[in-house]
Amino acid sequence: MKYLKLALLVALCSLTVACTAAKQNTGTTAASTEWRLKSLEESFLNFREEQRLQADTNTENVEAVNEKLTVLEGDVAALKSGQTIMDAPDTPDSMADAPPKGWVTDLKPEDEKWVDGQKPNGEMPMAQSGEDKPWSEVPGAPATIPEPKVIKRETTAAKKSAPVKKPKTSASKAMYDKGYAKYSAGDFEGARGAFDEFLRKYPKDKLVPNALYWKGETYYSQKNYPQAILTFKEVTGRFPKASKSSAALLKIGMSYDRVGDPDNAIFYLRALVEDFPKSQPAGLARKELNRLGG
């Protein structure tokens, strides 16, 4: 009878151990399946985000090509109009009133070679007609010679010295910078309000992942860890390949640790190390895993 009780006790212990192991395996399998589903969902979201970015890039390229075509059309129209560019003349102003070449200006009536009605070199004067002479005297050079209109070329030095206009900051970037400035100054409520306004007005802007991340940081800084977890998960769920996704995974793990849930903390820190092994947050995640024994 004693041996029978002992055998029953051994069988009962074996059954209990088997049930416990089955539960653990079931839990591990469920966690693995859930993570695979999340990975597939993140891959799909990433594919859609890449499609959107590619469409935006194509639109920008088309706009740039149209601008270049407009400039080229303007240049062709200017060439067809026949506008010429000429350099300024190098003739000094003192030569404007100079007498025509060949005139003798240094002889006087009392000089030996002066002869009325003929040139100083002794040549015979030309025959004179009896018609009226509208010009009784040889006209001199005009008082002023109108200078041709000069179109000056813009030199390379002048182009370099011209002030370079800085590109204007877009309205979305200004609103994002406003929120980040408030966060840096410790105004977490004001920063969160600015980021919420940015996300409402510009839901497709490229800075949306960053705005969501810093919104999560406002909750984390105020030790509102549950809300921080939800916001950081929105970053990793909607933008799994964004630059802020690795930092968001780190803060998810640290937030779970702060609320006393080390299992979830280890889970997300391991996911960070596996998905972004060379990132800076991954180095911090390894330290946290060593501390947590994961």
Assign 3-class secondary structure to 207-229.
CHHHHHHHHHHHHHHCCCHHHHH
Task: Enumerate residues 6+ apart whose C-beta is below 8 A from 232.
Answer: 213, 216, 248, 249, 251, 252, 255
Range in 111-120, 165-174, 269-278 the model is least confident about: 111-120
The whole-number average pLDDT for the span 98-102 is 49
The whole-number average pLDDT for the span 219-234 is 96
Helices (H), the chain: 2-80, 156-161, 171-184, 188-201, 208-221, 225-238, 245-258, 262-275, 280-292
* pLDDT at residue 264 is higher than 90: yes
Percent of the chain with pLDDT over 70: 60
Task: Enumerate residues 6+ apart whose C-beta is below 8 A from 133.
Answer: none
**Assigned CATH for 171-292:** 1.25.40.10
Contact criterion met (CB below 8 Å) for 87 and 150: yes
For residue 196, give both structure tokens. Answer: 């919420």
Contact criterion met (CB below 8 Å) for 257 and 288: yes
For residue 120, give both structure tokens. Answer: 């100083």
pTM of the model: 0.46
150: helix, coil or strand? Answer: coil
Task: Locate the domains of the chain by residue range.
Answer: 171-292
Banded model confidence at residue 49, pLDDT cuts 50, 70, 90: confident
Beta carbons within 10 angstroms of residue 84's beta carbon: 5
Q: How far is CA 121 from the centre of its chain?
A: 81
